[in-house]
Structure 1
Amino acid sequence: MTGKESLPNYRQYRGEALFIRSWFYFNLYRAFGVVPIARNVVNPEAAKSIPRCSEQEMYSLLVSDLTEAASLLPAKAGAEKARVTDIAAWTLLAKVQLTFKRHAEARASLDEAIKNTSYGLMDNPADVFDVNKKFNKELIFVLHYEKTNGEGHGHWYSQKSNVLSEINSPSPELRALYSTDDLRRPLIWEYIKQGSLYVLKKWYDEYDATYTSHVGNDFPFLRYADITLMYAEALAETSVSDALVWLNKTRTRAGLSELTIAEVSTRDQFIRALADERGREFALEGHRWFDLVRLGLAIETMRAAGFTLDEHNLIFPIPQNQIEIVNNASILWQNPGYNS
C-alpha cells in the first residue's frame, strides 16, 4: 500500500467523510429535492455550471457513498466516542432507501446494521436521554456536547411560571398521541423546576443550574429505535404481521401493550399506526415532518392541525439568492408551485 492509503486511519477518515457528505446531501434532498452534486472540490465559478441532478443520480450517489462508508468505518467507537461507526452508515442508508421507496434494499441495509451487536434498545426510554448515560448503546449518531469545556448548550427551557399553559408545549396534536401509561409521555409533557427555570424532562441535565449555555445532553440524530421502526416500515410492504413484531419493540419498551393483527390488519392501517408510534418515540428530535412526508401522511396530518398546504409544499423553495447567483434556469430552477 502506498500514498494516502498508507496514512494512519485513512480508511476511517474516508468513511467519515463519505458519511458526512451523504448526511448533508440527503438532508438537502429531503428539503429541496434534487440539487447540484459536486463529487470533487470545485471553485465557485465552476460550481455555477453544475446542474441539478436527477433522482437516480442522487440515489446512486447516496447508496455508493454510504455502502463504501460502511465498509471503511469501525464497528465500535474508540476513545473518541462521538465518531461515526459502521452502523450509522447502514442506518442512514436504510433511511435513504425508504425515502426512495426501495423497501427490500432498506431491509437488507438494516440486516447489516443489526449485525453490529454493540448497539440496541435501552430498557427504559428515559435512560436514552439521561445525561449521566451519554453514549449509551441506543445512540448511533449524535451531536456531542461537553459542558465542562464550555461547549455545552441551552435546550428546551423556559422561565415561565406556568410553563405548560403559557408556552403551549407540547401541542394538542402531540399530546393526543400519548396514553397516560406511556413511559415516554413525561419526557415531552413534564418540565422540572430548577431555580427560576423549567426544563423539559427529555433534555434535563441536573448538573447545571443555569441552563443558559452549558447543558451537557448530546442531541441524537440516529438511534437504535429508528432501526426497529424502519425495519417495521420495510417489512410492511410484504407482511403486516411481521412488521408488527418490530413496531411493538418500542411500544412494549414504553410500557404499552402490543398491537395485534386484529387491530392493524391492512398496510394502510399499519402505516398510520407506525406514523403515530414514530411521533411518540421521536418527539422533539427533528424526525416528524420527514416521517410524515415519507409515509404519505404529511398533507392530511398538517391540514387536520389547521395548516394550509398541498403537494408542492412537501419540499421547500430553492432560495432566491441562489437562483440569482447562478442566473441560469436550465442549471438551477425554482421548484414547482413557488414561481411568483
Structure 2
Amino acid sequence: MKKIFILLSIIVFGLAACEDELNQVPISEMSADGFFQDEKGFEQAINGTYEALSTYPERQFHLSDVRSDNIYGVGSMGVRSHEPVNNFAFTLAVNEYMTEAWDNNFKGIMRANTVLENLSADLVPDEAMRNRLEGEAKFLRALFYFDLIRYFGPVPLVDRLVSPNEALEIPRSPVADIYTLIISDLQDAAQKLPSSYSGINIGRATSYAAKGLLARVHLTRSGPVLHPDGPCLGVNEYSQALSLLNEVIAGPYSMLTDYAATFDLFNENNSDIVFDIQFASGGLGVGASYPGELAGSAFWKAAGYPYAIGLETKDVSYDLINSYGENDSRLDFNVQIGYIDPTNGQYVEDPVCTKFSRIDPETWGADRFDFGINFPVLRFADVLLMKAECILQGASGTQTEVDKIVSDVRARGGLSAVSNVTMDDLLEERRKEFLGEGLRWHDLVRTGKVLDVMNAWIQVEDESGQMRSSIDYKHIIYPIPQSQIDVKKGLYEQNEGYE
C-alpha cells in the first residue's frame, strides 16, 4: 500500500491563525512567505490539500447514505447528530455535519487556491511537475466545490486567496456560476495530470479521475430541476458525459472478478479504483475513522475491537437488504445482519454496513481514528453504470449495451443476466453495488427520483413513525450552517424551509 498523506504538523503552512478564521468565514488568507521556495514545498502543500479530504467518507455516509433509503438511522441511544439528517428535520442549521461539510470543503479550497496562486515557473522549473501540481490543485478544488453545491446549492465563489475582511463581502453565487469554475478546473486537470503514477505517488488524482469526475458533473447538471437552487440545471449534457466516460473505459481499468477484493486492505489501488482517498494506520495521524462511523460501537465490540468507538449503529434498510436477493454475494460482504453481544451472549439483530470493516485484527490501528483502509471516490463499476445512465437518458447507445453493463455488474455478485433495463432497475443496481460509498442520495437527486422514492420508502420503513411522514423539494439541499449565517447578518440568506 502506498500512501500519499503526510502529517500536517510538518507542513509549515502558517495555518493556525488562518483556520481560526475559517470557523467564521469560508475563506481566509495564508502566509506563504518562507514556504513556497521550491518543488518540495509545493508537494507538501498539495499533500495538505489532499488531507482536507480526510473527513469526506464520513460526510458522504451521513449526508448521502443516511439521508437516503439505504439507512434507517432512527436511534435508541438518545438524539444523535445523524438522526435529524435521517429524519429530514428543518432544524439542521446547527447540526455538526453541516458545519463540517462547509468548513472542511472551504479549507480544501483555500489550500488549493494557495498552491495555484504561488505556483510559477521560477519556483517549479520542471514543466511536467508544475502541470501536475496545477492539475492536482484544480481537481481537488473542483471536487470540494462539487461537494458544496450538491449539499448547499449556492455558495461563495472564491478562486483566489482573499483576506477574512474580503470574505465578509462575498455573497453566495448561483450554482451555474460555481459549475463554470468546476468544469474549467476539471478540463484543465484532465489536460495537465498524468494518466498514472508509480511508487509513493500512487493514489494521486490522474487525468482519468478528472474525466470521470467531470462526467459525473455533467450528469448532475443534466438532472431535472426539482429545487430552484439545487445541483440539477436541466441541461442536456449526457453526450458530453458519455464521451468522457468512454475515455475512462478505454483506460487501464477493469472490474475485479471478486467484489470483496475491490475493498481488500491488501489489494488497494486495484484496477477498479479510479480515485480514492488514501489512509494509513500506525499512529501517524493519517488513519481513517469512517469504518467506526458506518458500523458503530456494538458491532466493533462484538468483533473484539479493543478501543472505544462510542458511535451508534445506523441500521441498513430492510428494504435494501431484501432487494439484494438471497444469492447476491454483495449482500454478505456489505451487510452483517446481526452479531453476538459479548456482554450477555445474546444475538442482536442489527443490520450493519460492514463493507469497510472486514479488516484483519492484526491491522487495527492505535485507536478508532487509525484505520488504514482507503475510501473509493470513483470506481470503474461506477463509470460503467454512469455510461448506462447516459444511454438511458438519450445519449448515443443501445439497450443491448445498457443490459450488458448491468448484467456484468450483477454477474460479479453471482446473479443472472437481465434485459430491458430501465432507469429504476439501474438505480436499484447502483444502490446495491455502492452501499456505504455515499452515492445513493446524489443518484436519486440527479435522476429526479428522490421525492417519489423517499416518500414511498418512508411509508414502508418507518414503522416507528419517527421520521417526517413525507418530504418535498426543500429537503433536496441542506441549510447553510448557522455559524456562517451569523458571521455577517444579511450576507447569506438561509435555504428555503430551514429554521
The interval holding the TM-score normalised by the smaller chain is: 0.7 to 0.9
**Alpha-carbon distance, 1:192 to partner:** 10
Q: Which runs of 5 or more structure 1 residues have no equivalent in the other structure?
A: 265-269
Count of aligned positions: 327
Q: 1:3 offset after TM fit, Å?
A: 2.9
Partner residue in 1 for 2:137 = 17
Q: How far apart in 2 are the matches of 1:202 and 1:149?
A: 19
> 1:230 maps to which residue?
386
Deviation at 1:196, TM superposition (A): 6.0
Q: Bigger shift: 200-209 or 68-77?
A: 200-209
Instruction: Determine whether 1:94 maps to 2:215.
Output: yes
Match of 1:3 in 2: 122
User: In 1, distance between residues paired with 2:130 and 2:260?
Assistant: 37
* Cα deviation 1:172-226 (Å, max 9, x = unaligned): 1220220111121111223798996999254311143757434321111111111
Deviation of the 1:123 alpha carbon: 1.1
What is the SS of the residue equivalent to 1:147? coil
Deviation larger for 58-67 or 249-258: 249-258
- Cα displacement (A) at 1:24: 0.6
User: Identity of counterpart residues, as a percentage?
Assistant: 31
Q: Encode CA deviations 1:107-146: one digit per residue, 9 max, x unaligned.
A: 11112222322x2211111110111111111112212122
Deviations 1:76-102 (A, max 9, x none): 122121211111111110111000002
1:317 counterpart SS class: coil
CA distance in 2 between counterparts of 1:52 and 1:253 reads 44
Could you tell which deviates more after superposition, 292-301 or 211-220?
211-220
In structure 1, distance between residues paired with 2:476 and 2:315? 25
Aligned equivalent of 2:274, options 130, 133, 140 = 140
Partner of 1:174: 320
Q: Deviations over 1:290-333 (max 9, x none)?
A: 111112122222222324311110001112221232323xx522
Q: Is the 8 A contact 1:192 1:200 kept in 2?
A: no
- In the other structure, the counterpart of 1:267 is none
| Distance in structure 1 (CA, Å) of the matches to 2:444 and 2:161 | 35
Which residue of the partner structure matches residue 311 of structure 1? Answer: 473
Distance 1:221 1:259 in 2: 27
| Residue among 470, 473, 484 paired with 1:322 | 484
Provide the C-alpha distance between the structure 2 equivalents of 1:26 and 1:274, rounded to a whole number of angstroms: 23
**1:282 Cα deviation after fit:** 0.4
Task: Structure 2 unaligned segments of length 5 or more: list them.
Answer: 1-119, 223-236, 304-311, 344-351, 459-467
- The answer for the alignment partner of 1:295 in structure 2 is 447
Map 1:47-62 → 2, pairs under 5 A: 47-62=167-182
Q: Read off the aligned partner of 1:332 and give its amino acid letter.
A: Y
Distance 1:320 1:138, change over 3 A: same
C-alpha spacing 1:16/1:191, structure 2 compared with 1 (3 Å): farther
SS at match of 1:221: strand
Asked if the contact 1:35/1:53 (under 8 Å) is kept, the reply is: yes
Contact 2:260 2:333 survives alignment (8 Å): yes
Stretch of structure 1 that moved more, 42-51 or 88-97: 42-51
Q: Is the 8 A contact 2:256 2:271 kept in 1?
A: yes
The residue that corresponds to 1:108 in the other structure is 243
Q: TM-score, normalised by structure 2?
A: 0.60
1:184 equivalent to 2:345? Answer no
1:260 aligns with: 419
Q: Distance in 2 between matches of 1:72 and 1:301?
A: 40
**Displacement after TM superposition at 1:279 (Å):** 0.5
TM-score normalised over the length of structure 1:
0.87
Residues 132, 34 of structure 1: alpha-carbon distance in 2 compared, 3 angstrom cutoff: same
Cα-Cα RMSD: 2.8
Q: Is the 8 A contact 2:155 2:175 kept in 1?
A: no
CA contact (8 A) 2:277 2:377 kept: yes
Q: In the superposition, relative to structure 1, how do residues 54 and 234 fare at CA in structure 2: closer, same or farther (>3 Å)?
A: same
